Amino acid sequence: MAELAASEKSGRRGSGKRLDPRVDFTAMVDLAFLLITFFILTTSLSKPHVMKLEMPPKNVPPGADAASRTMTICLGSNDQVLWYLGLPDRPLVQPTMVGYGKNGLRAALINTEKRVKKTTGQELIVILKPSDHSVYDNLISSLDELDITGVPSYAIADISPADIKMLQQKNAY
C-alpha cells in the first residue's frame, strides 16, 4: 500500500520537524501488469494472408498448353489497349486495339475467357504489359477490369520489343 513515512531532517531555521513524503507504487505496478495481461489476452491477433500459388501439373511438359490460353494486354498511349491471344509471332487472335470500359477491355476479356474455356477447358491467363508511354491510371483500370471479370491468373511483365513494334504499327506507342 501507499504509505507516508516521516523522516526527520533538521533545517536551518529551526526547531520544527520536516516530513519527507515517500509513496509506495507497488499497487500501481500490479495494476499496470494486470491491465497489460488483460489487453494481451483479449485482443485478437491478425492472421497472415497468404497468396495462393498454383504449380503446373507434373505430367504436362512446360508451356505445352499455355500459349493457347494466354492473353497479352499491352497498354499504349492515349488510353489505348492492344490485346492478342497466343504468342506475339503466332497470335491465335490478331492484335486488336480497344479502349477501357464495358465495351472495350472488359468485353475482350469476357469473350476471350469464354473462347479459352470452350477450346481448352482451362482458365484464362492474362499478362499485362505497360509501355513507357502508358500512364499509371491505365494499369489500375486494367487491374480493375481483371477483378471485375474474375480472371484468376494474371501477371504484370515488362513489354517486349515485339509488343512495342505492334503498338507502333497501330500508332499507340
Domain spanning 67-169, CATH architecture: 2-Layer Sandwich (3.30)
pLDDT per residue as tens digits for the range 108-134 = 999 999 998 998 888 899 999 999 888
- d(Cα 25, Cα 93) in Å, to the nearest integer? 79
Instruction: With residue 38 as reference, give the H or E element that holds it.
Output: helix 26-42
- d(Cα 74, Cα 80) in Å, to the nearest integer? 9
pLDDT at 3 over 80: no
- d(Cα 143, Cα 75) in Å, to the nearest integer? 12
Band of the pLDDT at 63, cuts 50, 70, 90?
A: low
Quote the pLDDT of residue 110: 92
**Domain edges within the chain:** 67-169
Average confidence (pLDDT) over 131-146: 90
Cell 515485339, located at residue: 162
